[in-house]
Structures are given as C-alpha cells and as structure tokens.
Structure 1
Amino acid sequence: MGLALKPTDTLIVIDLQNDFCPGGALAVNDGDTIVPLVNRLQQQFRHVVLTQDWHPAGHISFASAHPDKQPFELIQLGYGPQVLWPDHCVQASTGAAFHPGLETTRAELMVRKGYNPQVDSYSAFLDNDHATPTGLAGALRERGLGRLFFCGLAYDYCVFYSAVDAVAQGFEAYVIEDACRAIDLHGSKAAAKQTMVELGVHLISSDDLL
C-alpha cells in the first residue's frame, strides 16, 4: 500500500499496559511482542497519544463486583451488554502501568479511561454508554489532527471501539493490524475486523508505514 505520512497524522497507542500482557490479570496472548514494533512506529509520527485503562477498585465491569458471576460472563447493565472481566488495571497498581519496554517519552497526550466506577470504557473517545466523551476528539480537533493510526491492545475490544468511534467522530481511521493483538473471545476478532471494514476503518500493516 505504501502510505506517505503527513505532519498532522497521529499514532494512538491503546492500553499497552502490564495487565494486558503475559503475566497480567487480563493477558492478551503475545501482547508484549508488539512493544518493539510500536516503539518503531512512534518514530515515524510527529504526534503520539497513549491511552490507559484506569479503573477504581470494585469497578462495575469486574466479575468480582457481582458475587454470582464469573469472569467473561455477559450481563446487561443500564448502558447495554457488558462482559465481566477479571480485576485489571486498577488505579496506581503495577498492572495499570505501561509495559516497561514501551517508549512513552514521545507521547504528547495520555488519555485515561474507565475511571467512572459505574461505566466501562473501551473506546479512547467515549465511555460504553456511548454518550460520555473522554475529551480526546476535542483535543485532536483543536490541534487540526485528523488522520489517526491505531495500535495496541486489544484488537477486538479497545482498538476496535476506538477506531469505530474515530470514524463516527469524523476522523479518518487506520488500524495497524500487526501492531495489535486480540483477545478473540467468542469470535470477537473476526467480528471486529468485519465491522471495521464495513464502517470505513482502513486495515493496514506496519510495512505500509516503515
């Protein structure tokens, strides 16, 4: 494909945190293996944004907050369906910290999400109620940054929701597939890929940029 990057292009690194890497509370298979590639990609972009899952203890998305439920069960909450997760990315914990190998010095903005105890937040743009913004869209627009490239964890959850919301917010969205890893819960990876294509998200490889 061979994409020429523009000065206003932005790399958004989604949730490359210890709890989503092997040994973490909600580990994504091979999640840590993308860190060197993500670091290389950062060098190609003038603008880099990092997102960070940042849950209070007892968050409503934790299975432990529902005594009769188990991790990965699906329940209905006031804002819609919610997968129940193991406790993860609890504020100020080691699990919530960025992977130690991730380059963070070039990031000019860090967006924390999921800190409302009553609403989960997969997307970098909106909580799962699809109404409460994180402020990222406004920050990008104010600075004239419109073409967004996503990588990180997990492909079929936070990367997927972020890319889809980016398109809905009027941005041009690209997902760098080999710089992501998926949870793939009940076929979620294939479903996410199909939906992204249908909604106009561009799926590319790091080879298109490096």
Structure 2
Amino acid sequence: MGCCESSASIQSEVSTSSSLLSSNKPHYLTEQIFKKYDHNGNGLLDVSELKSLMQDAFPGENFSDADMATMHNTLDMDKDGSIGVNELRAFLRLYQPGQQQIRTKTALIIVDVQNDFITGTLANPYSAADIVPIINNLRDKFDVVVISYDWHPHDHCSFVESASEGKVAIKEEVKKFDPFTFVTLKEDKDRPEHQQILYPRHAVQNSEGGKCHKDLVIKDTDLSVYKGVKPNIDSYSAFFDNMKANDTGLTAMLEKENVTDVYCCGLVTDICVKSTALHGAEVGFNAYVIHDASRPLSNDNIEPTKKVLTEAGVGWVTVDEAVKKAAPPKPGPWVLET
C-alpha cells in the first residue's frame, strides 16, 4: 500500500511539474516552477536540478553532461555557479511550451537621448551627439524599439533649484545648494526616506530640453516610456523609480510584445542606462548594455559600472556584439549561445 501511495505521489508531482511548464506564459509561474525543481531547497538550481527541468521541458531530448554544463553556464548570467529565480525567469521567457522550443524576441531600449543631456543643462562632456547615428543604424536590428524619456515636472525633487527654493521636503536646512550635492528626502506616502543627488533643472515636461535629439530616428511603432514624472521621486531606470515604489509600465509593454532580451543604450551609461539594464535583469529579461552606443556622466565611472552590471548578469557588449547576439537564432529545440 505504501508503495502504491509513493507511486501515485510521484506521478502527481510529475504531472504538476509538466502542467506548470505547459502554461501559455510559464514565466508568470517562475517561483512555482523553481520550487518544484529546487530539490534540495537551497534557493538555487544546480546542474542536476536544471537537467530535471530540461528533461520535462524538452521530452525526448537526450541531454549529455556536456550539454547540461553548457546550458547551465549560459543561463547562469551572473556566473555564480548556480541558477537563481531571475535567471530561470529569463529562460522561461524564451521557452515556447507548445513547440517545446527556444525563441527570442529583442528590444532596443534607447535611454534619454534628449537635448538637455547633449547640449543643454546637463550637457554630456563626451560628444553625446555622436551616438545618435550609431543608435539610428542599430534600430532595424531589433524586433521592438523603446524610447525612454526623462520627464520631470518643473519643481522636481532632483532639481537643485527646487531644493534651494524650499520646494522639496528634505531633512537638511534649506539653503543655496550646489549641483551634485546629496540631500535626504523625507519619507512620504509614495516612498521611504532616501538620499537624492541634486542636478541642474533638466528634461522638464514639454520643454525643448526634454525633446529627443533632432536627428534621432523615432517611428510611430516605437514604444514610449516616461520616467521621473512624479515631483517627489526620481527615476533613473525605464522600469521603476529609484525606490521601486512605482512601475513605469515598461515590463508589461515588453511582455505584451513577448520580448525576451533587452539591449540598453543612450544616456548616461553610469546612471540611467545602468539602472534600466539592472532592473531589466531583475524582472527576468536577458539584459545587455551596448557601451559604445552610450556615453557616461564620467569616464571614471565606466569600470565600476561594468563591474556592477556583469556581477548582476547583465552583458557588457559592443554594437557589433549586440547585432550578432540579436540576430535570429539557429534552428533547434534548445540551442543557446554562450
């Protein structure tokens, strides 16, 4: 009797695992799927646990040890030796249950290529206009294009002018602040207390400085996302504000388009491009920064930025590498490039 109960239990477990993987949108069930295959309960998938998942995802495939080592290394974006929940989510975005195949769909996220960051109040010192033709030439290599706008109200909390005029609720005594000073924003109903760097007023809604560079190609089919729209909280990332208290809607836009991989470029590498890529990886997209289609606020920040990104599993790629990676994948049920 005990043997029969054990067999029934095993059959139920297999059925549950298979049904989770056969969901139309398996990445929505990432946590449940992860728990099913995390046999030792340590919060990570090792090679043997990943093999169990892959055998259910691709029934009939005979995965060798070498196959599994390659797949595990490929999915292990942060190279820590194990597959975490977000890395599994990135795989499940690729997985097509009905066909039991891997498919990719790419998005180019063009971050804040706006006048104020090129020739205006926060003009970039590294010839930022030079990236405009580079980005224009990249557009058609990707399935989806997103234009991200920094889009602030006139008295935004990130503006040095707002803080100096007492229009921002800060812990410090109101005075004339210098640009790039840190202040502490008081907690409010929208977000917790946190530090904020003060910038010259920039990218004000409906201003000339908030417009994209005149030569940047923008099409009616492009998706648009506006960030930093609330007066009391800043948003470097095109996905969330700086405290992840407010969602811009970009994740839902990309999911509607069935995007799996996001490539970020624009201004500036070490702030908004970095934050966008990090959040993209956090919500389970394969994320990359195209560094030669971007410009930093400071060259001194490039290596630290690269380190933070690569440790988070974000790819640091050139234009040529991005184009190669974004090309349609070779046919096959589970082939993944390393």
Same fold flag (TM > 0.5):
yes
Counterpart position of 2:58: none
Aligned-residue CA RMSD (Å):
1.5
1:143: Cα distance to partner? 2.1
1:131: Cα distance to partner? 2.1
Distance across 2 between alignment mates of 1:107 and 1:33: 24
| Higher helix content, 1 or 2 | 2
Counterpart position of 2:201: 87
1:189: Cα distance to partner? 3.0
Counterpart position of 2:21: none
Q: Specify every segment of 5 or more residues in structure 1 that has no aligned partner in the other structure, as ranges.
A: 1-5
Cα offsets for 1:91-112 (capped at 9, x unmatched)? 1110000000100016521001
Counterpart position of 1:171: 285
* Greater mean alpha carbon deviation, residues 23-32 or residues 171-180: 23-32
Q: Residues 7 and 45 of structure 1 are in contact (CA less than 8 Å); yes or no, is this contact kept in structure 2?
A: no
Secondary structure at 2:161 match in 1: helix
Distance across 1 between alignment mates of 2:314 and 2:106: 15
1:9 paired to 2:106: yes
Which of 18, 27, 36 in structure 1 is aligned with 2:115?
18
Task: Return closer, same or farther for 1:102/1:7 CA change in 2, 3 Å cut-off.
Answer: farther
Higher-Rg structure is 2
1:43: Cα distance to partner? 1.8
Runs of 4+ that moved beyond 6 A: none
Counterpart position of 1:114: 228
Distance across 2 between alignment mates of 1:125 and 1:39: 22
TM-score normalised by the chain length of structure 1: 0.92
Q: Specify every segment of 5 or more residues in structure 2 that has no aligned partner in the other structure, as ranges.
A: 1-102, 165-174, 325-338
Amino acid at match of 2:258: G
Distance across 2 between alignment mates of 1:39 and 1:152: 11
Q: Residues 104 and 260 of structure 2 are in contact (CA less than 8 Å); yes or no, is this contact kept in structure 1?
A: no
Amino acid at match of 1:137: T
Counterpart position of 2:263: 149
Secondary structure at 1:65 match in 2: helix
| Higher strand content, 1 or 2 | 1
1:133: Cα distance to partner? 0.6
Cα offsets for 1:18-67 (capped at 9, x unmatched)? 0000x211111211110000000002112101000110101010000112
1:75 paired to 2:189: no
Task: Return closer, same or farther for 1:179/1:106 CA change in 2, 3 Å cut-off.
Answer: farther
Counterpart position of 1:124: 238
